[in-house]
Structures are given as C-alpha cells and as structure tokens.
Structure 1
Amino acid sequence: MIVPEHLLIEILKRLPVKSLCQFTCVSTRWRFLISDPYFIDLHLTHSATRPKILVGFHDPDDERGGVFSVDQLEPHNGRAQIATLPFSFHGWTGPFVLQSQQGLVSLEVGGHIHITNPLTGMYATFGLPRITERYASFSFYQQMHSFGFDPVERKHKVLSTRVIIMGGLHGRLIMESWVLTLGTEKWRQIEGCAANDKKGREVCFDGMVYYMAWSCLHGVHGDDYLVAFDVRTESFRMVTIPAEAHKDIHRALLIKFEEHVAMVDRNKALSCEEIIMWILEDFDQEIWKKRVFSLPSYWKEIAPDRRVFPVGTVRSGELLFAPRTLSKPVCMFYYNLKTNGLRRSEICGLDDVSPEFCVLTFLDHVESLLSPRGLPCRK
C-alpha cells in the first residue's frame, strides 16, 4: 500500500528529529521528502508549538560542558521533567556565546565558532575573522560573539565584534564588527556601531540581538547602554538606560518578558525576596517601565538555599526561574505573575552530570532538521 504524499507529510512532521533521521534509510522517496526544504520548514513550524528549555552547562576548570533540553511544562502538569542530553563538548572557552536559534546551537570551541544541530549530529566550524591589517599593531583587544536569526529572510547569522586599543591601554579605541551568514562561509565587515564593551550574556528573539555594554572612549568605560543589533539590516542601536534603572539594576540580566526585552537585577533575584524588572515597552521611543514582583512568603520553603534566577516568561505567562548550578535535585520554578503562585518541577536524568557545573538557560528551543551550513539537511 502506497500512502499518499500529503498524508505521509502530515504524519512525519509530527515525529521527533532523531526518528526522521533514521527514516531517511527507509526508501529513496522518504529520504528526499525528509530532506526537502519545504518539509524542513513545515516540521520546524510544527516543532515551534512544542518549545523546550535548553540548558548549557560549563565547567571552567577543564573547559568541558554539554547541553541538555527539557519540555516547557504547562500549568497543572505535575510530572517530572526528563532531561535529554543531545551532546557534550570540550574546549568551550566562554559562556556568553551559547545560543539556540531555530534548533541550531552556537558556541565557541578552540578559538572557532561552532554551529551544531544537536539532534542530527551535524555541525560546522568557522574560523574567526582576522584583525584588519591597518590595526595589526594593537595593544589589546577583546573579541565577543552573538548568534541571531532573521525571521523575514530566514537566515542565521553570527556577529563577531572586537574592541581594539591602539597605542597603550589608554590609547585610541576602535571597534570592528563582522557578520557571517550561514550558507556563505564568508565574514563581512560592517560599520555603524559606537565602540562598546559587552558585559554579559545576550538574548536573541524576533530578529534582534540584545546585550548590555559599557560605552568606551579612549579605553575607559563610560555609561551603560543596551545594544540592539538588527539581524536583517545588520545595524546597531545604542538604547539609553533610565538613570533610575542604574540604581535598581546592579548586575543586569537580560531576559525576554512578554515579547519585550527586560533587565532584571541579578542580585535581588538571587536574594529570593523580590524581582525588580525594567521592561523596554517601546523600542522606537526608548520607553522603559519599572515593575516589582514580590515573591510569595513560602518561596524559601519551596526553594531553600537555592541560587536561582529568572530566564524569561514561558507560553503560559509564568516567569521561569532556573538554577545557577546543577546541584541535586535540579529544579525549575514557575512563578505566576498574576496570582503570585509558584510551582516547582524537578528535572530527572542528570545523574552523571557534576552538580558544580554552572549553567545558562534559554527558552523556546525547538527541534529542527536545519543544517548548520544553511543548506537542506541530509543525514
């Protein structure tokens, strides 16, 4: 019996990536169907309805780490979250590169940018752009990377920025910015960003990469700004932070909050008493709104002696708190902003992972058949 192609597509698009990779061996027909860009997009669209939480863990002592994912639980779902360990790696040199965009994961390994699809096992490694020849006699430079996705043209891009100091530590400061579009394997230099020094992990959504930075002048740190990089237009914008926010936010953590970028005070969040949040409600007019969330009195009974911090809002509208390390038992906490309610979910399947590993947590990770090189996936 031959199953009609439209029915076969409807069945296959609901299956996990690992199963689809195995099914490419069933027949030539199935291999071409699963590898077709149309089917890859269709499967990705369906996967987006079942987002996952992606957690990267890193041991800075021996530069070893890995990535696991868990389902984003809906309210009233009391089952434990089971961790799936897609891959581990050696040589990760910095925690701020790891990002998940449309199922692809970016990190820096051995001085190279490493883009991988953890479920298909495919990866691509890209060398970093060389310092422009006219700046070859630099005194100091710092290189930073980000990973973004343009939902309009449907392209993944890696942003590499370096701050270069010429003529001593207090000399002239220059910023170089380069972009690599997956599928081209060629770095392009772009202009138009005032020199700044990135000072934390970025958050990427809706075609924008956001990160906190100091402005830089003659090698000296200046005011704090929110830097916004538009992945499609490859343009930068320095967003001013309200003076009052500087008093509230001592160690700013960027999160996605109700489709906006927001700053959270990391210190207050770890104190487990209240959450102070500054939300960029109007990007064009640079209008910020302050909100304070007082955690329920029984918070410390549910999460005693735990160092957790908010990582963003899930589809249910709850604010998700993730652990800073993988101390057993590993738990996620969901805080309902409207009812002031709190629920706890334990993550199972991490028996072989060191409890001392520091973690980075990202929401809305999806399973994907996309290739790290921007081409149709063939396995």
Structure 2
Amino acid sequence: MQEIGVETFGAVAKIEKIAFSLEQSISQDFEKETAMAEELSEELILEILSWLPVTSLIRFRCVSKTWKFLISNPYLVKMHLERSARNPEFLLSLVTHRCKRKLFLPGIGSSPFIARFGSLPFLIQNPAPSLDRIFRCPEHYNCVIGSCNGLLSLHDSLYTKEYEEHWVFFWNPATKICSRPSPRLRLNFGFVLPDGVEAGVLYSVHFGFVYDDWRDSYKVLAMVSDPSTYQTSVWVYSMNNICWRRSSMISMGFSTLDHNGCFVNGTVNWIGYPCFVNGTVNWKGYPCKGEWNHEQKILSYDLNNDTCICLSLPKLVPYDRGYASMSVSNGYLCIFVTMLAGLVVLASKDVRDETSWSRLISVSYETLNVIHGKHMLSIIGMWGDLLLLTCLEFGNPSNVIIIFNSKENKVERIEDYNKEFLIDIFSYVPSLISPIM
C-alpha cells in the first residue's frame, strides 16, 4: 500500500471537489469532475478514503456506482476502522433528571438519553451538551450496554409476574443504521408473584458487548444470576443468530454494581460479590437461599473456550478498601479501589494471571479536592493518562466530572450538569461497520 504523501493530499482535494459538486446538484460539468477520479488508481483512492471521516464517506457513496462499491469494500471498512481507532472519541450517556426514575425502574417504559460524542479536549472546552452533538437512538431501549468498533449495543426489557425478557439492538450512529431487535432471552421465575406484588426485577442480569475476532462475530453476553438456585449462567447472542445460547454455568450467585462487563484479551469480566448455597429461606413467595461472601471477586468469561471462573482480587489491593470497580484502558483491565484516604488504580493485560497486576495510580481525596463521606465518587474509566470520575455532592443535584492527569498530577473539573444525570461513558470509534450482516 502506498504511503500517504503530497500526491495523496492533492488527490483528496480532487475527491472533495467531486463531492461538493454532487451535493450542490447544480454543476453541469459533474462528469468532468468524476473523470478526475479516473486519473487515480483504485489502490490510491482506497488509501485516501480510509483517512476521511464517516460523514464524508456516506456522501461519497452517491458519486457513482463504482464509488458506492469502493466504499462498501470490506478492505476499506477494515482499514478505515484501523485509522479511526488511533484517535478514539467517547460517548457520554446522559438522562434528564425528570427521567431518572424511569431509567432505573424496568418495565414502566423507556427513558430517553442524550449521547454526545467527542474528544476529551472537546468535553473540557464544551462541558454543556450542544444540539449538534446530540444523538437519539431510533428505537425504544433502556440503556447502552456497550460500544465496539463504532457499533453500540442497546438494551430493552419486559417484566411480568411470571417471567422477564431481555433483548438488544445494534446501532451505528455514524451511518444511522440500526438492526432489528435480537430474539428475546426469556427468564422464567418458576412461580407466580403473589397478589399485590407488581411485576419487577427478579434475576440479576448484566451485559457485555464484544467483538470475537477468533470467530469474526459481534456478541452480547448476559451474565444471569438466578436467585432461586443461586447459580450464575452466561448467555451469548451472536449478531444475526436466531437465539441466545447458554454457554456456561457456575454453582454460585453473583451480584455486581457495575453496569457492563469489561472486555480484554479474549475475556469478559465483572467484579462483584459471590453467593454460595447455605440452606433455604422463603420470603413473601421469593425463593432465596445462600450466604453472601463479603469479599469481592472477579467473574471472568473466556470467549475462546466458553468457560467461566471466579478469581480473587490481586494481592496489591489494599486491605482497607471500599468497593472496587473495573474499566478498560489502553487494552488493560483496570481495577479502581476506593479507600479512606484516596483512590488506587491497578492494571493487568491478563486477568487470569495474578502476577500480571501492577499499580498505575494512587491519588488522595485532597488532591481531587473532594471530601470522603460528603461527596460520592463513581469511577468512569481511563483514557491514556487521564482518570475520569463523576462526583455528586450529597444534597446537590449537579453532576461534576473530575479529570485527573496522572502524568502531570493535574486535576480538571467540569461543572454544570444540572439538567442531566450522567449514566456512563464509553470509548467510541466512528466506523463504517454495518449492524446488519
């Protein structure tokens, strides 16, 4: 493949001139403009196109049948993704305060959210959402459960007195293409909820959205903890399949506060508390048996061999820790640990190798300018050397995003999220990947 250089950038100008003529639809010399492209080799055109934004490529599809074919070329789609991945953006998932109640009570309707894409410098300079950065999904949904190669996986659910159902959509916001809903994953209660008890959540269900490069398939994983048996199973849905497949089961319950599983090095991981069987107790018709383990563990599912194991936290985790959460940064699985004095961040590329963990960051609450016990911190994740947290002061409805630069030991604070409630942040790469395969 040719290296991009002066000749290539000159060719880009020619291609943009063609697109401008098309969009204006008033040029009488469009055929002459198109002829410019014929001076370039197909290889060079593909190289040029791979550097352009998705919005431009969508417009260029209309230039001719040849160009439409070129832009749909799997090689170009892959090469463009590789280029885009070098400068990832992120998705900021927000919901208005008046809709918060809807978001966390399944079965009473979907709640709208605002998803804003942009680079971290853009967020720092423009903390308030603007209309040109707002995206709304074309279908009903409860939340975004993951972002992978430019695709978002969206979740919706239904709850009755006898069962609950979960299903997903795949959406490319850059191309505005959305898939049909997946088949429904039905989880039967095994009994009918008693009179006077409304339909609601019984199972503990948490998701992960990944690309399985070994099988060239996009997958959604549902980690389901059954309260009636205290067993945890992992269900897998591959894009365009006709059903969910139960892949693995372990003999314990598992409860986690993290929204989504973290994918790294072929594994999807959740952090939480296991529950082991220890007798049977019935309360208001809800079967329940087991004893919760107060020590956090990592539930790790291996995509390659469809196995699920429970791992201890690394020995580097301090003994005086509070709740630990996880995220992925630069290909590493990161564990964020809150303590009485501050935060500690650990990282590993192989979660199943206990010796692979190392300490990345240790920062005090004083440095972050927050007061332990007065402010509630939620760790969103890391991008490069930047640690992102949300801070909510008790009694104050305003959200604050704290950005800590570990390299420069510098803190940035972004205020004024008075009307929106921050749900999650995902790494996002605009791409041509189709959610319909």
Q: What range describes the TM-score normalised by the shorter chain of this pair?
A: 0.7 to 0.9
Q: Distance in 2 between matches of 1:291 and 1:358?
A: 25
Task: Report the equivalent of 1:130.
Answer: 186
- Are residue 368 (structure 1) and residue 431 (structure 2) matched? yes
Is the CA contact 2:92–2:422 (under 8 Å) kept in the aligned structure 1?
Answer: no
C-alpha contact 1:266 1:309 (8 A) present in aligned 2: no
Asked if residue 64 in structure 1 is aligned to residue 112 in structure 2, the reply is: yes
**Partner of residue 380, structure 2:** 311
1:157 and 2:204 aligned: no
User: Any idea what SS the aligned residue of 1:41 has?
Assistant: helix
**8 A contact 1:264–1:278 mirrored in 2:** yes
Give the structure with the higher percent strand. 1
TM-score, with structure 1 as normaliser: 0.77
Query: Cα distance, 1:153 vs. partner?
Result: 3.6
| Residue number in structure 2 paired with 1:49 | 86
Task: Show the counterpart of 1:169.
Answer: none
Partner secondary structure for residue 233 of structure 1: coil
Note the residue ranges of structure 2 that are not aligned, 5 or more in a row.
1-34, 103-110, 159-166, 194-201, 278-288
Shift of 1:101: 1.0
Task: Please report how far the alpha carbon of residue 50 of structure 1 lies from its aligned counterpart in structure 2 after TM superposition.
Answer: 1.3
The answer to whether the 8 Å contact 1:324/1:358 transfers is no
1:204 is displaced (CA, Å) by 2.5
Correspondence for 1:119 among 174, 191, 198: 174
Distance 1:55 1:47 in 2: 18
- The letter of the residue matching 2:430 is E
Indicate which of 121, 135, 160 corresponds to 1:86.
135
Aligned to 2:254: 197
SS in structure 1 of the partner of residue 305 of structure 2 = coil
Identity, in percent, stands at 21
Aligned-partner Cα distance in 1 for 2:223–2:376: 32
Do the aligned partners of residues 143 and 17 (structure 1) sit closer, same or farther apart at CA in structure 2, a change above 3 Å counting? same
Are the structure 2 counterparts of residues 154 and 344 from structure 1 closer, same or farther at C-alpha, using a change threshold of 3 Å?
A: farther
Task: Give the letter aligned to residue 238 of structure 1.
Answer: C
Q: Distance in 2 between matches of 1:130 and 1:330?
A: 36
Change in Cα spacing, 1:187 to 1:250, as seen in structure 2 (3 Å) is same
The residue that corresponds to 1:350 in the other structure is none
Inter-CA distance 314–177: structure 2 relative to 1 (3 Å threshold): closer
Q: 1:18 to 1:206 in 2, by over 3 A?
A: farther
2:155 aligned with 1:108, yes or no?
yes
Q: In 1, distance between residues paired with 2:343 and 2:140?
A: 35
Q: Which has the larger radius of gyration?
A: 2
1:38 counterpart (75, 93, 97)? 75
**What does 1:1-379 align with in structure 2 at a 5 Å threshold?**
1=35, 2=38, 3-58=40-95, 59-62=99-102, 63-73=111-121, 80=126, 84-88=133-137, 91-93=140-142, 98-111=145-158, 112-124=167-179, 125-131=181-187, 136=190, 140-166=202-228, 172-199=229-256, 200-201=258-259, 202-218=261-277, 219-220=289-290, 221-222=292-293, 223-241=295-313, 245=317, 247-257=319-329, 259-265=331-337, 274-280=342-348, 283-287=351-355, 288-289=357-358, 293-295=362-364, 299-300=368-369, 309-315=378-384, 317-322=385-390, 333-343=402-412, 355-363=419-427, 365-373=428-436, 375=437
Shift of 1:159: 0.9
Tell me: CA distance 1:165–1:154, structure 2 relative to 1, closer, same or farther (3 Å): same
Deviation at 1:15, TM superposition (A): 2.0
The residue identity in structure 2 corresponding to 1:120 is T
Larger RCO (CA under 8 A, 6+ residues apart): 1
Deviation at 1:92, TM superposition (A): 3.9
Alpha carbons of structure 1 residues 355 and 281: separation in structure 2 relative to 1, 3 Å: same
Compute the displacement of 1:179 (Å).
Answer: 0.8
Residue 267 of structure 1: how far off its partner (Å): 7.3
Structure 1, residues 19-52: CA drift from partner, whole Å, max 9, x if none? 2222222211111111121111111111101101
User: Matched residue of 1:180: which SS?
Assistant: strand
Task: State which drifts further: 113-122 or 200-209.
Answer: 200-209
Q: Aligned partners of 1:113, 1:330: CA distance in 2, in Å?
A: 29
What TM-score does the superposition give when structure 2 sets the normalisation length? 0.68
The answer to whether the Cα contact below 8 Å between 1:122 and 1:372 also exists between their aligned partners in 2 is: yes
Q: Which residue pairs with 2:108 in the alignment? A: none
Alignment deviations for residues 194-253 of structure 1 (CA, whole Å, 9 cap, x no partner): 433241223233433211132222332234211122233332221112588474432222
Partners of 2:227 and 2:413 in 1: how far apart? 48
The residue identity in structure 2 corresponding to 1:60 is K
Q: Distance in 2 between matches of 1:69 and 1:151?
A: 25
Deviation at 1:103, TM superposition (A): 1.0
Greater percentage in helix? 2
- Larger deviation, residues 336-345 vs 183-192: 336-345
Other structure's SS at 1:370 match = coil
Judge conservation of contact 2:271–2:298 (CA < 8 Å) in 1: yes
1:354 Cα deviation after fit: 6.4
CA change 1:78–1:39 in 2 (3 A) is same
How much does 1:323 deviate? Answer: 5.7
- CA gap 1:190/1:245 in 2 versus in 1, 3 angstroms: same
1:256–1:311 Cα contact (<8 Å) kept: no
Q: Using a 3 Å threshold, how does the CA distance of structure 1 residues 20 and 178 change in structure 2: closer, same or farther?
A: same
Q: CA deviation at 1:295?
A: 4.5
Distance 1:121 1:264 in 2: 35
Distance (whole Å) between structure 2 residues aligned to residue 214 and residue 330 of structure 1:
28
Q: Secondary structure at the match of 1:277?
A: strand
